[in-house]
C-alpha cells in the first residue's frame, strides 16, 4: 500500500477491476489513491492502475459474452435492470455519501446523482419491452417491410468524474438493454463510485463478461480501450480536447463513436424578468456542483435596464452561499474535484483580470475553518465582460460566472450563440413572444424557459450542437441513447412466390 504521510487517515475503500465476472487487481499490481477533495488528508480509497493488458482481458471477456447476451430476450435483460434499480434504491444513502466523499458534491446533489442513476435504470429496463422499430407498407403486393434495432457489439465507455454514478448509468444501462456488452473506464478522479454502481449491476444478475470495469488513466487505459480491435463502438464524456483526440483514433479504425464534451451555457435575463427567480436560477446554475456541470450557467446575458439591480442581488446571494465539506448538511457549495482543477480555475480567474473584466465577487481560494484542507474556491463573479474574452468563450468548469450586458433580445441571442459550444441555454422573461423567439433561435441542444440551464430529465435526449457533441444524444427518448447503442436492420419479406422487382414497371400485355 505504500507509506502514508503524517495525518493521513486509513484507506476506506479498495476497488478492483471487474473482468469476466471476477474482481481482480491490475496485472501490474499497481494502484493509485483517491483523496477527498474537501479534505486532502482523507484517502477515500485505492483503485487499480490498469494498462493495455487489463483492457485486453476485459475486451476479450466482453467479446466472448456478446453472442449469448445479444440472444437473451430484451425483456429478460430488462428484468436484471429492474432488480438493479431496486438495489440502487436500497443503497441510495450509502452511495450518496460515497459521491460526496470521492467527488465533493454536497449531500443533496450527491443523492440526486444516485437518484438519476435509479431513474435511468428503471427507464432503460422498461425499454426491454419496447426497443421499437417500424413496420411500413411495401410498394409491392404480398410483401412486407420492417426495421428492427439490433445490438452493435462490444462498447467501450469512458465516463467523467462530475456525475460519477449518474453518467455511467446513462451509458451502461442503454448499452445493456440493447444487447451489447460493455467495458467501462471511469474517470481516475472517481473510480470508486463507478465500481460500486457496477457491483450493483453484478449483484442484480448480469452474466460474467457482459459488464467489465477497468480503472486507470487515459493514456494507459482509455486510449487502449478506444483502439482495441475487438471494441466495436465508443461513447465518451469529458473535455473537448480529449474527445476530439479519441474521435480521430476511432475514425481511423472505423468505429462508431459518440462524445459529449461540455458547454459554455448562457442565461438571458430580459428587462421584464422575475428578478428574484432569475437570480435564484443564476446562483443555482452558476455555482451548483461548484460550477462543475457541463450545463453550468457560466454566462449571464443581462438586459441593461435591470443590469445593476440584478448584479447587486446576485453578488449578495453568492456571498451568502456557505462553502463546506460535502457531508455537512449546512454546506451549499463543495470543493472542486482536484488540485489540477483548483489551479485551472484560479488560472482562469487571473486571465479574466488580465483581460480587463471587473472582479465583482470572490476570485480566490477559500481555506478557512473546515475548508482549510480542501480545494475550495469562493463563488466568483466577473462584470464588464466582453463576448470575445476567453472567460466568456472557454469552459472553466468551476464556480466562475461572467456577466455580459445587452440592450435587446436579438443581441442577447447572438451573444448566447457566439461560442464554440451549444449544450444548454435559458431565458428569463414574462413575454410569451420573446420566449418563443428564444426557443426558436437559441442554438443549443437544451433550452429552458424561466428555469436555469441545469435540470435535464432522463426521458429526454441529452446533448448539444457544435463542439458540445458528436453522434446520437445521451439518455432517453427518440433520438436519444437507443440510437447510439443499436444499429438498424431493415427486413423485406416477399411471400408472393414469384420474382418481384421493386421500382421496375412490369411490361404491359
Q: Could you read off the pLDDT of 111-136 as tens digits, one per residue?
A: 999 999 999 999 999 999 999 999 99
Mean pLDDT of 344-367: 97
In a domain, 500, yes or no: no
Q: Are residues 75 and 188 in the same domain?
A: yes
Those residues with Cβ within 8 angstroms of residue 248's Cβ, 6 or more apart along the chain or in another chain: none
Structural domain contains residue 506: no
Q: Identify whether 496 is part of a domain.
A: no
**Which pLDDT value is given to residue 3?**
30
The CATH number assigned to the domain holding 57 equals: 3.40.605.10
Shared domain for 193 and 276, answered yes or no, is: no
Mean pLDDT over 415-438 rounds to 98
Cβ proximity of 114 and 92 under 8 Å:
yes
- State the pLDDT confidence band at 4, using cuts at 50, 70 and 90: very low
Segment 67-71 shows an average pLDDT of: 98
Over 70: is that where the pLDDT of 341 sits? yes
**Of 18-22, 282-286, 300-304, 472-476, the least confident:** 472-476
Residue 488, domain member (yes or no): no
Q: What average pLDDT score do residues 481-501 get?
A: 96
Same-domain check for residues 52 and 188:
yes
What is the average pLDDT across 157-181? 98
φ, ψ at 160 (rounded to 5°): -90, 180
Average pLDDT, the chain: 95
DSSP 477-502: STTSHHHHHEEEEEEEEE-SSS---T
Dihedral-angle region of residue 205 (phi above 0 means left; psi in -120 to 50 means alpha; beta otherwise): left
pLDDT of residue 509: 54
Enter the DSSP assignment of 95: H
Active-site residue set = 260, 294
pLDDT score at 477: 73
Q: Based on the domain organization, do 249 and 302 belong to the same domain?
A: no
Q: Where in the sequence is the domain holding 157, given as residue range(s)?
A: 13-133+153-261+468-483
Q: What is the CATH number of the domain that holds 432?
A: 3.40.309.10
Domain assignment present for residue 503? The answer is: no
- pLDDT for the residue numbered 507: 74
pLDDT of residue 13: 80
221 with 370, same domain: the answer is no
Whether residues 183 and 317 share a domain: the answer is: no
Do 399 and 371 lie in one domain? The reply is yes
SS3 state at 210: coil
Residue 24 placed within a domain: yes
Q: Is the pLDDT of residue 11 over 60?
A: no
Confidence tier at 12 by pLDDT (50, 70, 90)? low
List own/partner pairs for 10-14 with CB under 8 A and 24 or more apart: 10/43, 11/43, 11/45, 11/46, 12/42, 12/43, 12/44, 12/45, 12/101, 13/44, 13/45, 13/46, 13/98, 13/192, 14/45, 14/46
For residues 320-348, average pLDDT: 96
Between CA 362 and CA 287 the distance in angstroms is 12
Mean pLDDT, residues 183-196: 98
Please check the confidence at residue 7 and state whether its pLDDT lies above 80.
Answer: no
Residue 120 lies in a domain: yes
Is residue 166 scored above 90 in pLDDT? yes
Mark whether 79 and 118 lie in a shared domain: yes
Residue 220 gets the label, from left (phi > 0), alpha (psi -120 to 50) or beta, of alpha
The answer to whether position 29 is within a domain reads yes
Instruction: Return d(Cα 344, Cα 390) in angstroms, integer.
Output: 13
Residue 5's pLDDT band (cuts 50, 70, 90): very low
241 & 290 share domain = no
The three cell numbers of residue 199 are 457491483
Rounded percentage of the chain residues whose pLDDT exceeds 90: 94
How many domains is the chain built from?
A: 2
248/273 same-domain check: no
Are residue 257 and residue 270 in the same domain, yes or no? no
Q: Are residues 279 and 319 in the same domain?
A: yes
134-151 pLDDT tens trace: 999 999 999 999 999 999
Q: Of 4-13, 19-28, 175-184, 290-299, give the lowest mean pLDDT range.
A: 4-13
- pLDDT beyond 80 at 1: no
| Position 478 pLDDT exceeds 80 | no
Round to the nearest angstrom and report the end-to-end CA distance of the chain.
Answer: 88
Mean pLDDT to the nearest integer, 70-83: 98
Look at the chain and count its residues: 509
Give the per-residue pLDDT at 476: 87
What's the average model confidence in pLDDT over 389-393? 98
Judge whether residue 176 has pLDDT over 50.
yes
Phi, psi of 461 (to 5 degrees): -60, 145
Amino acid at each position: 500500500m505504500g507509506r502514508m504521510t503524517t495525518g493521513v487517515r486509513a484507506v476506506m475503500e479498495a476497488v478492483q477491476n471487474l473482468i469476466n465476472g471476477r474482481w481482480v487487481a491490475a496485472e501490474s499490481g499497481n494502484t493509485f489513491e483517491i483523496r477527498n477533495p474537501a479534505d486532502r488528508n482523507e484517502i477515500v480509497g485505492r483503485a487499480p492502475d490498469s494498462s493495455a493488458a487489463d483492457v485486453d482481458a476485459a475486451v476479450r471477456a466482453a467479446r466472448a459474452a456478446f453472442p449469448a447476451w445479444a440472444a437473451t430476450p430484451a425483456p429478460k435483460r430488462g428484468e436484471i435492470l429492474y432488480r438493479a434499480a431496486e438495489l440502487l434504491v436500497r443503497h441510495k444513502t450509502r452511495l450518496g455519501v460515497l459521491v460526496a466523499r470521492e467527488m465533493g458534491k454536497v449531500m443533496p446533489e450527491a443523492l440526486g446523482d444516485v437518484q438519476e442513476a435509479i431513474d435511468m435504470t428503471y427507464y432503460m429496463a422498461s425499454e426491454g419491452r419496447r426497443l421499437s422499430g417500424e413496420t411500413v407498407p411495401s410498394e409491392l403486393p404480398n410483401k412486407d417491410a420492417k426495421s428492427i434495432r439490433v445490438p452493435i457489439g462490444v462498447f467501450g465507455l469512458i465516463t467523467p468524474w462530475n456525475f460519477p454514478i449518474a453518467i455511467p448509468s446513462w451509458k451502461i444501462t442503454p448499452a445493456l438493454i440493447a444487447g451489447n456488452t460493455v467495458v467501462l473506464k471511469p474517470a481516475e478522479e472517481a473510480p470508486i463510485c463507478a465500481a460500486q454502481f457496477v457491483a450493483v449491476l453484478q449483484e442484480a444478475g448480469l452474466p460474467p463478461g457482459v459488464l467489465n470495469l477497468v480503472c486507470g488513466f487515459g493514456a494507459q487505459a482509455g486510449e487502449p480501450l478506444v483502439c482495441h480491435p475487438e471494441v466495436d463502438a465508443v461513447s465518451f464524456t469529458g473535455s473537448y480536447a480529449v474527445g476530439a483526440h479519441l474521435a480521430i483514433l476511432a475514425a481511423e479504425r472505423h468505429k462508431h463513436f459518440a462524445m459529449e464534451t461540455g458547454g459554455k451555457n448562457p442565461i438571458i435575463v430580459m428587462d421584464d424578468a422575475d428578478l428574484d427567480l432569475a437570480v435564484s436560477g443564476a446562483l443555482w446554475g452558476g455555482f451548483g456542483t461548484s460550477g462543475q456541470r457541463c450545463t453550468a450557467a457560466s454566462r449571464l446575458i443581462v438586459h441593461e435596464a435591470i443590469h445593476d439591480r440584478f448584479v447587486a442581488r446576485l453578488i449578495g446571494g453568492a456571498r451568502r452561499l456557505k462553502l463546506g465539506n460535502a457531508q455537512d448538511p449546512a454546506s451549499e457549495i463543495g470543493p472542486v474535484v482536484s488540485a489540477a482543477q483548483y489551479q485551472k480555475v484560479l488560472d482562469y480567474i487571473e486571465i479574466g483580470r488580465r483581460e480587463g473584466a471587473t472582479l465583482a465577487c470572490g476570485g480566490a481560494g477559500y481555506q478557512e475553518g473546515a475548508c482549510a484542507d480542501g480545494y475550495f474556491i469562493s463563488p466568483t463573479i466577473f462584470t464588464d465582460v466582453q463576448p470575445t474574452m476567453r472567460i466568456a468563450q472557454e469552459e472553466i468548469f468551476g464556480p466562475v460566472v461572467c456577466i455580459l450586458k445587452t440592450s435587446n433580445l436579438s443581441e442577447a441571442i447572438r451573444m448566447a450563440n457566439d461560442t464554440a459550444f451549444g449544450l444548454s441555454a435559458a431565458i428569463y422573461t414574462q413575454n410569451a413572444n420573446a420566449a418563443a423567439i428564444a426557443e426558436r433561435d437559441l442554438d443549443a441542444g437544451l433550452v429552458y424557459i424561466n428555469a436555469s440551464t441545469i435540470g435535464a430529465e432522463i426521458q429526454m435526449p441529452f446533448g448539444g450542437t457544435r463542439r458540445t457533441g458528436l453522434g446520437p444524444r445521451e439518455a432517453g427518448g427518440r433520438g436519444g441513447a437507443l440510437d447510439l447503442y443499436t444499429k438498424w436492420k431493415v427486413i423485406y419479406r416477399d411471400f408472393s412466390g414469384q420474382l418481384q422487382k421493386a421500382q421496375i414497371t412490369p411490361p404491359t400485355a
